[in-house]
Amino acid sequence: MVLKAELHCHVEGAASPALVARKAAKYGADVSAFIVDGRFVWHDFTSFLRAYDQASALFRTQEDYADLTEDYLLALSAQDAIYSEVFISTDHAISAGLSPRAYIEGLAEGMRRAKAATGIESRMIATGLRHKGPDAVMEAARYIAENPHPLVTGFGMAGDERMHHPRDFARAFDVARDAGLGITVHAGELSGWESVANALDTIRPSRIGHGVRAIENPDLVRRLAEEQILLECCPGSNISLQVYADFPSHPFPALARAGVPVTLNSDDPPYFHTDLAREYDIAAAFFGCDDGALAEITRTALKAAYVDETTRNTLI
Ligand code: ADE
Ligand code: ZN
């Protein structure tokens, strides 16, 4: 049995179709546009984001979020995971009519319940949404900087990478960094290596969400290895979103061989018909990882986690 750790899972994206359907019944909403035969339906990144936003809109109370977080973490613990960092989005809460404070309290309550039941540790990474633009991302950063919570330890940016330039968000990330938060940003998923290089130059993250398309430039791969920038790789997500045609074409093994710190993550598990255990299975089946290599991937994640040293030392 290999212990696992996850650094990249969006909490709204972890809601199963069954849980979303229960919330829809609670609120009298129709989900037939994006759940068919118990599965989320979408066909490209834009329709994925639409389905994701519609499902997220059905989480409307502090208790809805406690439920969702507990559900995800209990399932993760059953996969032998000992640690998780979840991306959270105050924008989604606000859109659903929930205050950021109640949202974060709900998430924290779910984390406390899961820890009490299984021992799993978890933290939150607040995110801004790139497609909402620099002002919205600044607002998300300011909220989290001005309202610190002990379980919110990082700041990131998700959403449509094809919009805006990373430099447009540099000031928002400065606000988050000055508040002591760890910095990660999605790049090199929908866009190529330049997107990763620009994010490194302007946002100065310690980790990159995805980042796999750095493989398109050998100098950039060398830079990632030299600077030990960790990539939060999500192979199942990449195949579902057709970033790569199949697992044998995925650059995970080449990046690892080049000395880039790489980890395994589920991103939005039910949307991509995956979970963390499947990601580790994929690495065993397609990337040549034996149990020793998989355990090392978990250690790599824990070393780069945005968590206090005392907790880290209990995990590694
Ligand atoms: N938000 C949720 N999943 C995402 C992904 N794979 N890329 C960008 N933003 C996201
Ligand atoms: Zn992601």
Domains and CATH numbers, the chain: 4-315 (3.20.20.140)
Residue 227: band (very low, low, confident or very high) from pLDDT cuts 50, 70, 90: very high
Cα R_g (the chain), whole angstroms? 18
**pTM for the full model?**
0.99
- Which residue among 12, 85, 189, 279 is the active-site one? 189
Task: Quote the ligand 1 centre to 210 CA distance (angstroms).
Answer: 10
Q: Residue 11's pLDDT is what?
A: 99
Share of the chain above pLDDT 90, in %: 100
Name the phi and psi angles at 307, rounded to 5. Answer: -140, 150
Q: Could you identify the atom of ligand 1 that is nearest to the CA of residue 13?
A: 2
The predicted model gives 203-224 an average pLDDT of 99
Give the Cα separation of 45 and 220 in Å (integer).
25
Could you tell me if the ipTM is greater than 0.95? yes
Q: Residue 189 catalytic?
A: yes
Q: State which amino acid sits at residue 156.
A: G
pLDDT digits (tens, 9 = 90+) for 241-295: 999 999 999 999 999 999 999 999 999 999 999 999 999 999 999 999 999 999 9
Confidence bin at 58 (pLDDT 50/70/90): very high
Average pLDDT, the chain: 98
Angle separating helix axes 100-118 and 62-77, nearest 10 degrees? 30
According to DSSP, the residues that pair with 74 across neighbouring strands are none
Predicted confidence (pLDDT) per residue in 115-161, tens digit: 999 999 999 999 999 999 999 999 999 999 999 999 999 999 999 99
